[in-house]
Structure 1
Amino acid sequence: MNVKTQSAAETHADHRHWQSDVACWQDDIQNWRTEHSTALVQLQETMQRIQDHGKSLESHANTLLALEESLEHHEKSLAACLKDNPENVADDPLNAQHAKQAQLHQTQQEAHERIKKHHHTAMAQVAILKAALEAAV
């Protein structure tokens, strides 16, 4: 291996350059430490939001169960009305109940679509973050 002979001035210049590099790298590390601390706080906040999202999913599931029970009750009321009504015409209270059931269904459909979109977006972002962290160093 051939090593180039350098003058004292060239050697000192290399050392100053290396010291400058090390100083820049130390600045990077300090900045990264600050960003890392901030990221940990943000991840804790994110974890809380993910847990809150889970609670929202459970609440939505419970609302759907109630909607399903309401629909079953409405269907039974309709069947009883039609059985007792020879002209097969639903009465006014049943029509009002049906309109209410239709509105409940529409409201839940809209809520479900909002939750679905939010859920898919959030889970995709978590997967991206996980993949990025697993690929690091």
Structure 2
Amino acid sequence: MRKRAAVIALGVVVAAGVTGGVIAAQGDPESAQASASDDLANTADDAVQGCADSWNEGNQNKASVASIATAAQQTENPTAYVHVGFSDLFPDRCMVTVANPSTLLAQQYLQEPGNGWSGIPAWSGSVSQIDSSNLPWNGRMAEDGTVIIL
């Protein structure tokens, strides 16, 4: 009987240790959610940077876009406001929205298949017509058309 009681007691101790280990391995649910959120944010940041890199490396027309986007600015280093993200209509394609703070005009460029970029904007209009999903601005455009993510 003592052996049986000892085995049962040992089983309870081992089970408690395993349960404690599982609980410890799972960790705090809030920190797990924060970690998952951080991973998603990092992935999103990487995707946005990938779009900017595609624009900077694969756009033969970026200097022309920059000259329009920085026209009429009375500063020493004119810059355009930029939102880099993805198209709602074509979520697998990058979209760059460029706005000129002096003229209040904006243009959107959609990445073409094969990571190319057209010199013709997919949309042009007033800054006030930009869909709120393309705000806030997450980048700037230099005079040479290079997009810098903020």
More helix by percentage:
1
TM-score between the two structures when normalised by the length of structure 1: 0.39
Q: Of the two, which has the highest radius of gyration?
A: 1
TM-score between the two structures when normalised by the length of structure 2: 0.36
